[in-house]
């Protein structure tokens, strides 16, 4: 089996993209696990397939996104910017704004092009955040104890009673996120954000009993009401250089708990994103680059 692909990334959050208008992918979860392998495959945080929209859906293209472990996710903020770039640059559609069908509904994207007529920067209407714990979903009874007394903050306990306590704000952007700020989590205060062993902490929180669909984990250090730095452990993938839905969730969580304004600049390991939680529409808007790395043909080795 051979598959033509394009490798793309949004500030380092990299995926293998397949043009589903031209070729069919059987068993995408299995293909994702193999093609995203950084040692034996093309390498990436997962697989994204760009497809025709479902019949009756008012969209230009459809996006299916699979994590490196083969699990399918509802959305990827950095990934959808590259979907827009692939669809435009390959001539699938030149619509601007572009409507993309995702696991969380149809999202609208506005974009700009460079001197070569290629998409370089995209603003995504990420839709409305979901704050109801049951809908995120978070099982409140499994959190075992109350938060620190502030609204929208909850306690995540790891291990035995009192062993390791973290305070989080939960937000869904169509996929679930747990946001941990430095001002009430001493474990990540100051320079600790850079040195914390996220590869150890991330999977423990991701797979906590309170999260029936697992959860994305974000550690945040605030600099001002308009600027912050974050690190991410992505559900089903691991540590990533960026997470667009996560940055959107951080924007909401910051404003919700009065830590930040509704418009922020987020510094992620792979680069920067601009986020705005619009008060009138209640929608979150995310702006960032989309970059093509290379294209090729992947041939599965059955040996």
Contact by Cβ (8 Å): 167, 180: yes
DSSP per-residue letters across 18-42: EETTT---SSHHHHHHHHT-TTTSS
For 49, the enclosing helix (H) or strand (E) is strand 46-51
Residue 82: active-site member: no
- Please identify which of the residues 82, 84, 155, 243 carries the catalytic annotation: 243
Phi/psi at 202 (5° precision)? -50, -55
If DSSP codes are grouped into helix, strand and coil, which group holds residue 122? strand
Which helix (H) or strand (E) segment is 292 a member of?
Answer: strand 291-299
Structure tokens at 4: 């033509």
76 is catalytic: yes
Residue from 76, 82, 84, 251 carrying the catalytic annotation? 76
CA distance 190 to 297: 45
* Gyration radius of the chain over CA positions: 19
Could you list the active site residues? 76, 243
């Amino acid at each position: 089996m051979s598959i033509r692909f394009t490798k793309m990334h949004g500030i380092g959050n990299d995926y293998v993209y397949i043009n589903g208008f031209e070729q069919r992918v059987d068993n995408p979860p299995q293909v994702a696990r193999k093609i995203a392998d950084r040692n034996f495959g093309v390498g990436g945080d997962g697989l994204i397939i760009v497809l025709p929209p479902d019949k009756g859906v008012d969209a230009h293209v459809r996006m299916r996104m699979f994590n490196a472990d083969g699990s399918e996710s509802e959305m990827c903020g950095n990934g959808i910017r590259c979907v827009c770039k692939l669809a435009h640059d390959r001539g699938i559609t030149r619509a601007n704004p572009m409507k993309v069908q995702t696991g969380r509904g149809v999202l609208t994207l506005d974009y700009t092009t460079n001197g070569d007529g290629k998409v370089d920067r995209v603003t995504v209407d990420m839709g409305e955040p979901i704050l109801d714990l049951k809908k995120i979903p978070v099982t409140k009874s499994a959190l075992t104890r109350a938060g620190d007394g502030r609204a929208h903050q909850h306690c995540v306990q790891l291990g035995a009673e009192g062993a390791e306590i973290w305070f989080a704000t939960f937000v869904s952007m169509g996929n679930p996120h747990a946001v941990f700020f430095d001002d009430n989590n001493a474990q990540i205060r100051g320079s600790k954000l850079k040195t914390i062993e996220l590869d150890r902490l991330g999977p423990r929180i991701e797979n906590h009993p309170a999260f029936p669909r697992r959860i994305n984990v974000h550690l945040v250090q605030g600099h001002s009401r308009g600027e912050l730095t974050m690190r991410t452990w992505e559900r089903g993938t691991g540590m990533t250089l960026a997470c667009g839905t996560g940055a959107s969730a951080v924007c909401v969580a910051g404003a919700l708990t009065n830590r930040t304004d509704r418009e922020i600049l987020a510094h992620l390991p792979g680069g920067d994103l601009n986020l705005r939680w619009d008060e009138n529409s209640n929608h979150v808007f995310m702006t960032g680059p989309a970059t093509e790395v290379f294209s090729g043909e992947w041939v599965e080795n059955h040996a």
